[in-house]
């Protein structure tokens, strides 16, 4: 009996460790930072929401169906990584999965409210 793998066998896949999974998610989030910055520049003082980022990422195929389901909750972190500022205002989500919940509006620093 031979132990060699045939063309139809695949070697066993080792599950990712928590540290590897975290590094994978962070690397993926970093790929969305330029997109978040671009959206914020185009939106100006009106800002962008996580749902805007999700739609743009899906349209540009940077977010697949699997990522949309498993990593969508991390999108708020992208806004912070992109250097955007929470404007203190909220807008209803246009993404059906969000059930029209309110999402924070993120803006470039020059459009952020100045506290007196």
Helix (H, G, I), strand (E, B) or coil at 2: coil
Lookup: tokens for 106: 């993120």
Is the pLDDT reported for residue 72 higher than 80? no
Q: DSSP labels for 15-64?
A: PPPHHHHHHHHHHHHHHHHHHHHHHHHHHGGG-B-HHHHHHHHHHTTSS-
Q: Give the predicted TM-score (pTM) of the model.
A: 0.77
pLDDT digits (tens, 9 = 90+) for 14-66: 887 889 888 888 998 999 999 999 999 999 999 999 999 999 998 998 887 66
Going by the DSSP 8-state scheme, the letter that residue 68 receives in this structure is H
Instruction: Give 115's pLDDT tier (boundaries 50, 70, 90).
Output: very low
């Amino acid at each position: 009996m031979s132990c060699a793998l045939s063309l139809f066998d695949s070697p066993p896949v080792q599950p990712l460790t928590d540290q590897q999974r975290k590094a994978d998610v962070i690397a993926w989030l970093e790929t969305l930072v330029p997109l978040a910055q671009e959206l914020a520049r185009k939106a100006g003082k009106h800002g962008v929401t996580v749902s805007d980022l999700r739609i743009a990422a899906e349209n540009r195929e940077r977010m697949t169906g699997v990522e949309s389901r498993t990593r969508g909750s991390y999108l708020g972190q992208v806004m912070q990584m992109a250097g955007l500022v929470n404007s203190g205002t909220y807008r209803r989500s246009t993404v059906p999965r969000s059930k029209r919940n309110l999402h924070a509006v993120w803006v470039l620093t020059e459009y952020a409210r100045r506290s007196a």
